[in-house]
Structure 1
Amino acid sequence: MRETVTHEVGVRTLSPGGPGAPLVVFAHGLEDSWTSWLPVAGELDPAWRALALELPWRPGNDYAWRGRSPGHWLARALDLVGEAPDALVAHSFGAGAALELLCAGGPAPAASAALVCPLYRMPSQPVGWHAFDRSRTTFMQHVRDSVRAGMGSRADTVDPAVLAAMMELALDRVGPIAFLTVFEQFVASAALRLENAAPPAIVLAGGADPTLSRRAAVALAGAMPDARLVYDPGYDHFCHIRHAHRIAGLVADLVGTVRAETRTAGNHR
Structure 2
Amino acid sequence: MNAGGADSMWTAVNESTMYGEELAVHRFADLPALAFVHGLEDVWSSWTPLTRFLAGRFRSYPMDMPWRTGGTYKWRTRGTAAQWIEAGLNLVPEPVSVLVAHSLGANSVLQWLAAGAVPKFDALVLLSPFYWPPSMPADWKVFDAFREDFAAVMTAGLRTRLGERAESMDPEVFAAMARKMLDGMGPQAFLALFDQYSAATQLPLAHVDVPTLVLGSPQDAGLAGERAEALKADMPCAELYLDPRLTHFCHMEQPREVAELILSFVDGHRSP
TM-score, normalising length: structure 2: 0.85
1:243 aligns to 2:242 (yes or no): no
Hey, which of these two has a bigger chunk of helix by percent?
1
Deviations 1:40-78 (A, max 9, x none): 111114352011000000011111111221121111010
**Closer, same or farther in 2 for the Cα pair 1:44/1:136, shift >3 Å?**
same
Q: Which has the larger radius of gyration?
A: 2
Counterpart Cα distance in 2 of 1:125 and 1:153: 38
Identical-residue share of aligned pairs (%): 37
Gaps of at least 5 residues in structure 1 are 1-15, 265-269
1:181 to partner: Cα distance: 0.9
Moved more, 222-231 or 113-122: 222-231
The alignment status of 1:223 with 2:234, answered yes or no, reads yes
Q: How far apart in 1 are the matches of 2:174 and 2:229?
A: 35
Specify whether residues 26 and 74 from structure 1 end up closer, same or farther in structure 2 by C-alpha distance, changes over 3 A only.
same
Q: 1:130 aligns with which of 116, 133, 141?
A: 141
Answer with 111-120 or 215-224: which moved more.
215-224
Q: 1:84 aligns with which of 57, 73, 95?
A: 95
Structure 1 runs (4+) greater than 6 angstroms displaced: none
2:108 alignment partner in structure 1: 97
Secondary structure at the residue paired with 2:176? helix
Q: In the TM superposition, what whole-angstrom CA distance separates every residue of 1:193-229 from its partner, at most 9, and x where no partner exists? A: 0202220001112033222214211221243232110
1:188 corresponds to which residue? 199
Contact 1:17 1:47 in 2 (8 A): no
101-110 or 245-254: which moved more?
Answer: 101-110
Between the aligned partners of 2:244 and 2:72, the Cα distance in structure 1 is: 35
Once the two structures are superposed, residues 156-203 of structure 1 have per-residue CA deviations (whole angstroms, 9 ceiling, x without a partner) of 122222211111111111110110111111111114102022200011
Q: Match for residue 252 of structure 1?
A: 263
Q: Give the 3-state SS of the residue equivalent to 1:195 in structure 2.
A: coil
Which amino acid letter does the alignment assign opposite residue 52 of structure 1? P
Q: Deviations over 1:11-48 (max 9, x none)?
A: xxxxx972121211110001111111111111114352
Question: In the alignment, which residue of structure 2 is the partner of 1:197?
Answer: 208
Where does residue 45 of structure 2 map in the other structure? 35
Matched, 1:72 2:68: no
CA positional deviation for 1:239: 1.7
RMSD after superposition: 1.7
Distance 1:84 1:126, change over 3 A: farther
| 2:36 equivalent in structure 1 | 26
Q: Taking structure 1 as the reference length, what is the TM-score of the superposition?
A: 0.86
Aligned residues: 246
Gapped runs of 5+ residues in structure 2?
Answer: 1-25
